[in-house]
Amino acid sequence: MALPTNSPTAFCKAFIERELKSNKQNHIWMSYWPVMERMLERADELTLVFHELIKKFGYSDKFDGYPPNNAYIWLTLEYIWMSIDFCKNDVVQVRLDLKELNTLKEEIVELSEKLAFALRRQDEVYELSGFQKSDYQTTVDMIELASEDNHLYQSYVSDKIQSLRGQFDLKYWPTRADVAESIASFEKIQPSPSHSELPESVLKGRASDIKDFVLAFDYSFDGLNGLPSDFRFSNNALADIINVILDLSSDRLATGDAIRIVRNRHNRN
């Protein structure tokens, strides 16, 4: 069905209605249904947003024309209702996840180094004390034991690994301590985790509904995700998006001036 082209608001409303109907029929993206419904109910507040989209890309439907131009309005509108993920509570959780990842990295390094030391010390004690170990685990033994429930490994890899063990004696293989130490070495050189949607300025900055939303929202237009990289909503249009998507109360509404301040401050940094 052709979408109406008598006004940007009519076109974008019809587009959102069609996507919402399809999502409900296919029982997908259910967490975004309320946001899409709110965009429809408050479409008059998004008039500037729809106008800027149509002015930039025309009345282009994803079922007409050719990519990538026919996809820009579709992807941008979809991105708008999915930007509910930039609400403060979600960002706070992402910050907690980042903190946990950094803590786990430190723990993994410490535990791996302790394990490597303990394994080497165990070998030394057995070698010098006269005690005998009932069995000895090689690196290949470790791989086999770790993969005993992996039928693909057992079917396609195990025999090849075993044949290599027959060709090369222990001096050609890392010890258990070497393997443990390699985990620590690997973790030490890993950079700080980056998020697929949130920039570092959001992850490490002070929590703020408007600031976090603006930085995260603009950040995605610079990524390789199909969104038009040469497009930005105006300050006033983005303020309207924030107010509708986050359903802010009248005493907390975003303004174009607030968006401008955030963008200017971020661009200077």
Give the sign of the dihedral formed by CA 221, CA 262, CA 94, CA 238: negative
Decide if 53 is inside a domain: yes
Can you read off the two tokens belonging to residue 181? 């130490």
The structure's pTM equals 0.64
Decide if 215 is inside a domain: yes
Decide if 1 is inside a domain: no
Is the distance from CB of 61 to CB of 70 less than 8 angstroms? yes
Do residue 81 and residue 211 come from a single domain?
yes
Do residue 46 and residue 101 come from a single domain?
no
User: How far is it, in rounded angstroms, from Cα 79 to Cα 73?
Assistant: 10
Do residue 13 and residue 51 come from a single domain?
yes
List of residues 6+ apart from 73 with CB closer than 8 A: 12, 15, 53, 54, 57, 60, 61, 62
Do residue 80 and residue 14 come from a single domain?
yes
Give the sign of the dihedral formed by CA 100, CA 83, CA 261, CA 257: negative
User: How far is it, in rounded angstroms, from Cα 116 to Cα 183?
Assistant: 10
Residue range(s) defining the domain that contains residue 162:
91-188
CA angle 39, 43, 46 (to 5 degrees): 95
* The predicted structure's pLDDT at residue 103: 93
**Preceding amide of 174 cis, omega within 30:** no
* The predicted structure's pLDDT at residue 98: 85
User: How far is it, in rounded angstroms, from Cα 176 to Cα 161?
Assistant: 17
Do residue 174 and residue 263 come from a single domain?
no
Domain boundary among 171, 188, 205: 188
Do residue 80 and residue 96 come from a single domain?
no
Do residue 120 and residue 46 come from a single domain?
no
Domain boundary among 139, 161, 188: 188
* The predicted structure's pLDDT at residue 207: 59
Do residue 106 and residue 165 come from a single domain?
yes
Count of the separate structural domains present in the chain:
2
Decide if 161 is inside a domain: yes
* Each residue's pLDDT expressed in tens, for the chain with a length of 269 residues: 689 999 999 999 999 999 999 999 999 999 999 999 999 999 999 999 999 999 999 999 988 877 787 899 999 999 999 999 887 667 778 888 888 999 999 999 999 999 999 999 999 999 899 898 888 889 999 999 999 999 999 999 999 999 998 899 889 999 999 999 999 999 999 998 888 777 776 677 665 678 888 988 998 888 767 888 889 999 999 999 999 999 988 888 999 999 999 899 877 65
The amino acid present at 209, given as its one-letter code, is D
